[in-house]
Chain A
Amino acid sequence: MATTVTAKGGTVRPWVLLSYRLPREPSTPRIAVWRKLERLGVARIGDGLVGLPDGNRTREQLEWVAEEITDAAGTATIWMATPGNRAQHQVISESMSAARAAEYRQIIAEAKAAAGTADDLARTQRRLRTALRSVQRRDYFPPPEREQAKIAVAGITTSSTTTAATT
């Protein structure tokens, strides 16, 4: 993938941006698009401007959202861009990383809460694994919580055997 060298000699990775406008009414397509963008884990750069680190898959994902927007009588354009400097890249990537970290912490909390209960642990684990996978798919700048969440979810059933053995 192409990178751009900045004046200070650092490299900034390219991004794919979607700039869009959707009529306020009807609200159904607006909400559908909003949900889809949340699911993709986009950076919200401005009003009607979102971005993802560029790649074949991310570009395609945003192109299909663009298609959905134009199908719903909105306007949408796809842009390839590089942040003007590394600090800007940093701010955006850190905010994306923080958003994922919060989602991982939620999963960790649920995994820990389940471990001490008489719930169907295998079932809770299945549910949290699915949740974990969907967060991982939109995780472009992995925070430390990624690994912690993986361990917490894997530990749900192993800690249950320990509990069973001690009771």
Chain B
Amino acid sequence: MKWATRAGVHIDRAASAWLIRSRIDPDAVFTFIGDLDDLPDDATPFDIRGAALGHHNGDCTFEAILRHYDLADPILWQIAEIIHQADLDDDRYDAPEAAGLDVTLRGLSMICDDHHVLDLTAPLFDGLYTYKRQHLLLGREPA
């Protein structure tokens, strides 16, 4: 399936692309566009103004995707809190990881194109997921 998002990806779009490819559509192909007007007919838009998979009711796109596809995995929702804070920084959640992740993504987007950012960040989010899973199972910070 084809998916489209705005060019110049940052935290919310990188994390959403990871979520789509790892939990919704393993064959996802991503295109980066400037505007909803440039949307290819066969692509599902996300994190673009006017798209259902965008910011709504104070949620970021990552949260919108979790809701839309009924992904109830509590670890994904923990990651959603980090993405939300990194993207919106509105103090809705306590996610101290957010600030670091945000600058990491900002820096990457300065030296890589969008496809490369997705390739580099996928293992980062895989690792974050495993870390958060360990954390939940142990009930404390993993060693």
- What residues make up the interface of A, taking CB atoms closer than 8 Å to B? 32, 36, 39, 56-57, 60, 63-64, 66-68, 71, 134, 137
Contacts and interface: CB of A to CB of B under 8 A. Distances in A.
8 nearest CB pairs, A to B: A64-B55, A63-B49, A67-B49, A56-B8, A67-B55, A71-B56, A67-B54, A66-B49
Contacts of B8: 56
B97 to A, nearest CB: 15
Interface residues of B, number: 13
Interface of B: 6, 8, 10, 49-50, 54-58, 88-90
Nearest to A137: B89
A56 B6 CA distance: 11
A166 to B, nearest CB: 35
A107 B6 CA distance: 37
Nearest to B56: A71
B24 to A, nearest CB: 22
22 contacts: A32-B58, A36-B90, A39-B90, A56-B8, A57-B10, A60-B6, A63-B49, A64-B49, A64-B55, A64-B88, A66-B49, A67-B49, A67-B50, A67-B54, A67-B55, A67-B56, A68-B55, A68-B58, A71-B56, A71-B57, A134-B89, A137-B89
A43 B57 CA distance: 24
Contacts of A36: 90
Nearest to A35: B90
B3 to A, nearest CB: 19
B54 to A, nearest CB: 6
Contacts of A63: 49
A31 B30 CA distance: 37
A78 to B, nearest CB: 8
Contacts of A60: 6
A35 B89 CA distance: 13
B85 to A, nearest CB: 12
A120 B58 CA distance: 34
Contacts of A137: 89
